[in-house]
Amino acid sequence: MLVAADEGGVAFRWKDYRLDGPDRWKTMTLQPDEFIRRFLMHVEEVTEQASCDDQRQLPCPCPRCGGHMIIIETFAAGMQPTSWPVPTQIRIDTS
């Protein structure tokens, strides 16, 4: 469980399975890059046979329509996206 995160480090709680009782839970603070390196060691590798769309597909459905959401762009925190969504036009039936 994450406890705190800032430019100085990431603090998180972890369980020491070698111990029993309340001393089993410990808190550790790591530099952000070291935390990410260790965290990614627990992430499963995507198979080479997965399609490009499979890798971009988010695991949760769209809250509006229930369809699959696709990542169209990623950007760093504080940066602006390079493209903006095209507004959908409302069609009015004039028949």
Question: 43-67: per-residue pLDDT in tens?
Answer: 765 446 545 555 566 667 777 777 7
- Which residue type sits at 44? E
Scan for tokens 């959401």, then name that residue: 69
Task: Tell me which residue has tokens 């490009």.
Answer: 52
User: What is the model's pLDDT at position 77?
Assistant: 80
Q: Would you say residue 89 lies in a domain?
A: no
Residue 32 lies in a domain: yes
Evaluate whether residue 91 is within a structural domain: no
Q: Which helix (H) or strand (E) holds 38?
A: helix 32-40
- Region of residue 49 (left: phi > 0; alpha: psi -120 to 50; beta: else): alpha
| Structural domain span for residue 16 | 2-70
Flag whether 11 is in a domain: yes
Q: How many separate domains does the chain show? A: 1
Distance, CA of 20 to CA of 43 (rounded, Å): 27
Beta bridge partners of 61: 68
Provide the pLDDT for residue 54.
Answer: 55
Q: Which segments in the chain show pLDDT lower than 70?
A: 44-59, 83-95
